[in-house]
Amino acid sequence: MPRVDPNLVKRTAMFRQPLAALLVVVVAAVAVPQYWLFLATSALVSAVALLGLGIVGRAGMNSLCQLSFAAVGAWTVAQLNVWSAPGTLILWTVVGGVVAMPFGVLIGLPALRLRGVHLAVVTLGFAAAADVVVSAINFPGVDSYQQVMRPEFIATDRMYFVYAGLLFVVLSLAVEWVGRTRIGASWRAVRFSERATAAAGTSVAGAKLSAFALSAFAAGLAGGLLAGQVGMITAQNFGTIGSLALFVVAVMAGGEFVFGALFGGFLIMFIPEFFRRAGISQDWANVLFGVGAVQALSQGTSISEGFAKRLRARRPAAVPPAREPIGGGRPPLGAKPLLEAKGVGVRYGQVTALQEVDLVVPEGTVMGLIGPNGAGKSTLVDALSGFLPSAVGSVTLDGRRLDGLPVHRRAGAGLRRTFQQDRVPTGLAVDAYLRFAAHRLVTRDELEEIRGFLGCPPGDAHVADLDVGSRRLLEVAAAILAKPKLIILDEPAAGLAHAESLALADRLVEVPARYGASVLLIEHDLDMVRHACARIVVLDFGAVIAAGPPAEVLARPEVARAYLGGEEAALT
């Protein structure tokens, strides 16, 4: 049976939608009458702004001030036009986009502390404030009656349409491309969990700000494009309600997809025109958009996401190969201390969660950290990985002091952790997630190898389609792939069947030798701990109560008491 190379299909996938868009533009440029081309140009302007909205959407943030950024772009273009700056409209438009970026970062700053609806209210407030400023400062050239000049070769409305179309295609290619880089993955990761993003070595601030900056860039381009199209721009182009309507259309059509943005731009311009021609009030268009957005959200997806899901659903679901149980073996004890924590303490108000914990994890070993619920295990992990800036004590990794470093820097220094809760972003494919979380350049072979090692699903499977157990394994795989010095696994076997837990334990034993990383394993499953660990540490009421080889420690009565609440019994 003849088959297309699947890698080739994958690599060209990102070009498919932009190229289809290019086709639409070319056909329209030839076949459509001039008046409709002008309308279609407006649709492209909206589509460019929608693409930008899709970028913050990927990062899980709502921006209700997209047209304010567009105003910045338009203003820049108008000013450069008045100055008769070199580079013609084409360069001015790009400059307009660039000038809009700092404003995007400015609005991104509150997003570092404000989330969800709080952020939405702030962006709406910004839109209103920007509306005030834009109304107050005249657009350059309006008083002196200077129209924004188009260069000769795009002077006609038809040619300008082609130019707008090309700009849209180039931008959508760029967005698709960036979406596949680590930055793009970090947007999706931030949307799912900020903690996991930081733990994967990526700055949350960087992810959010880059999303806002690029979104503002696209909006600025749209503003510049509009300035060139209409020639004379005024504040009414960039009203608050316009930003809201744009958001609603993005929700409905799906600004995260090139097709969705194009479709959304098309709807914004052509639905009112359709009503106008039919002799119906154009206000119906906004009613329709609102109803459409409600409908789209009640389906849980935008229109284009719905189509994308349907396309994907036709592909056969991937079945991960069964993990073979292997003989296990004992991890080496390790001698040289790798992680040294001294006097680590955490207080929440009056409650002492951790007191004076000393912990040494040697190089090249698998160590267990056990304790009853509420003993402070996860608090200790949070303190070690940098999530608790209020923690006292010192943490050293391989001789380097980690105190005061933020989470993503500790991750970069070689301390990786996983989470008890499922924190694998659902918006990504398996390999995309692995590449993102590895935070280094990895080869295809490395990906194959690690997936094979842990029995993860194939690389093109979508995380959203995986069961919880597979996601846990994937998280472990990602942590290993990052080549850290120490991996802290917080209950990785939760969600795995008992046999699978033991198989995972077998693999963990191999990790130090195979990947050069020590493992600190936090686990309730004592069988697994016994299998995997060379030493264990027992935590109770925020303090270390025992440490040593598993068999010996688990036999101690105080450990048994801690687990079983006073009953005199050995845990063997």
Partner 1 sequence: MRIAKILLAAALVAPMAACGDSGSGSGGDGPINIGSVSTLSGPVTFPEASQAARAVFDDVNAKGGINGRKIAYTAADDKGDPSSAALAARDVIQNKKAVALAGGASLVDCQVNGPLYAQNKITDIRGIGIDPGCFSSPNISTVNTGPYFGSTVSLYYASETLKLNKVCSFFVIIGGTANAYKEGVDRWSKITGKKPLITDLSLSANTTDYTPYILRARDAGCQAVLFNGTEPMLVGWVKAAQAQKVKGIKWLFLAPAYTVEIAKALGPAGKDVVALSEFEPYTDSKSTINQDWRNTMAGHKVPLTSFAQGGYLAATHLVEVLRGIKGDITRESVTKAMKDLKPLPSNMTGTPFAFGPGDAHAPNTSAKFVKPDGNGGWTVLTPDWIKLPNA
Partner 2 sequence: MLEGAIAGLAGGGAYAALGLCLTLMFRLVRVVNFAQVAIGVIGVYTMALTVDHGWPYGLAALAGLVTATVVAAALGWVMGRWFGEAGADQRSAISIAFLVSLLAASYLAYGTDPRRIPGKFGGSLFTVNGITITQAAAVCTVGSIAVAAGAWLFLDKTVLGLRLRALSERPTTAELHAIPSRWLGVGMWAVTGLLAAAVLLVVAPQQTSDQTSLSLMIIPAGAAALVGGFRSLGRTVAGGLGLGALQGALAHVSQLQQYRDTVPFVAILAILIWSQRREVWDAAR
Identify which of residues 257 and 563 has a Cβ nearer to partner 1 in the complex.
257
Question: What six digits make up the tokens of 534?
Answer: 């060379």
Q: How far is the CB of 138 from partner 1 (least distance, A)?
A: 4
Residue number, 232 or 287, with CB nearest to partner 2: 287
For the segment 293-312, give every residue that binds partner 1 (CB under 8 A).
Answer: 295-296, 299, 303, 306
Query: Please, which of residues 407-466 interact with partner 1 by CB under 8 A?
Result: none
Those residues whose C-beta lies under 8 Å from the C-beta of residue 549, and which sit 6 or more positions away, are: 534, 535, 536
Does 284 engage in binding with partner 1 (CB under 8 A)? no
**Joined tokens for residue 47:** 């589509």
In the complex with partner 2, which residue's Cβ is closer, 18 or 272? Answer: 272
Which positions ≥6 away from 540 have C-beta within 8 Å? Answer: 371, 372, 375, 562
Collapsed DSSP state (helix, strand, coil) of residue 509: helix
Q: Please, what is the minimum distance in Å from the beta carbon of residue 456 to partner 2?
A: 25
Cβ pair 224, 77 in contact under 8 A: yes
Q: Which of 17, 42, 68, 418 binds partner 1 (CB under 8 A)?
A: 42
Binds partner 1 by CB under 8 A, chosen from 24, 122, 128, 405:
128
Beta-carbon contacts of 449 under 8 Å, excluding residues fewer than 6 positions away, are none
Identify which of residues 93 and 193 has a Cβ nearer to partner 1 in the complex: 93
Q: Which residues bind partner 2 (CB under 8 A)?
A: 62, 64, 109-110, 113-118, 120-122, 124-126, 128-129, 132-133, 135-136, 193-195, 240-241, 244-245, 247-248, 251, 281, 283-287, 289-291, 293-294, 297-298, 378, 382, 387, 421
Specify the residue, 131 or 525, whose C-beta has the smaller distance to partner 1. 131
Nearest to 70 by CA among 223, 216, 211, 215: 223
Q: In terms of DSSP bridges, do strands 400-401 and 337-348 run parallel, antiparallel, or are they unpaired?
A: unpaired
Smallest gap from Cβ 302 to partner 2, in A, equals 11
Identify the DSSP state of 254: I
d(CA 367, CA 418): 15
Q: Quote the least distance from Cβ 294 to partner 2, whole Å.
A: 5
Close Cβ partners of 289 (under 8 Å, ≥ 6 residues apart): 245, 248, 249, 252, 267, 268, 271
Contact between 530 and 554 (Cβ < 8 Å):
yes
Tokens for 458?
């194939």
Within positions 136 to 165, which residues make up the interface with partner 1, using CB under 8 A? 136, 138-139, 142-143, 145, 147, 157
Least distance CB 412 / partner 1 (angstroms): 44
Query: 88 or 147: whose CB is closer to partner 1?
Result: 147
- Token representation of residue 360: 């040494």
**Contact region with partner 1 (CB under 8 A), list: 30-38, 58-66, 414-422, 509-517:** 30-38
| Residue range at the interface with partner 1 (CB under 8 A); choices 27-35, 350-358, 394-402, 413-421 | 27-35
Q: 177, 282, 325, 467: which one contacts partner 1 (CB under 8 A)?
A: 282
Min separation Cβ 126 and partner 2, Å:
7
Check: CB of residue 485 under 8 Å from CB of residue 365.
no
Hunting for tokens 């190089």 — which residue is that? 363
The least distance separating partner 1 from the CB of residue 79, rounded to whole angstroms, comes to: 14
Q: Whose CA is closest to 373, among 540, 544, 567, 560?
A: 540
79 lies in the site for partner 1, by CB under 8 A: no
**What element of type H or E holds 75?**
helix 66-82
Scanning residues 204 to 263, which ones bind partner 1 (CB under 8 A)?
A: 226, 229-237, 263
- CA 201 from centroid of its chain's CA atoms: 13
Contact region with partner 1 (CB under 8 A), list: 133-141, 340-348, 441-449, 495-503: 133-141
Q: State the burial class of residue 533 (Cβ atoms within 10 Å of its Cβ: 0-12, 13-18, 19+).
A: buried
> 142 touches which of partner 1, partner 2, none (CB within 5 to 8 A by kind)?
partner 1
| Closest among 227, 207, 271 to 425, alpha carbons compared | 207
Alpha-carbon distance of 48 to 172, in angstroms, equals 8
Nearer residue to partner 1 within complex by CB, 245 or 450: 245
* Chain residues that interact with partner 1, rule: CB under 8 A: 32-36, 38-39, 42, 128, 131-132, 135-136, 138-139, 142-143, 145, 147, 157, 226, 229-237, 263, 266-267, 270-271, 273-274, 276-278, 281-283, 288, 291-292, 295-296, 299, 303, 306
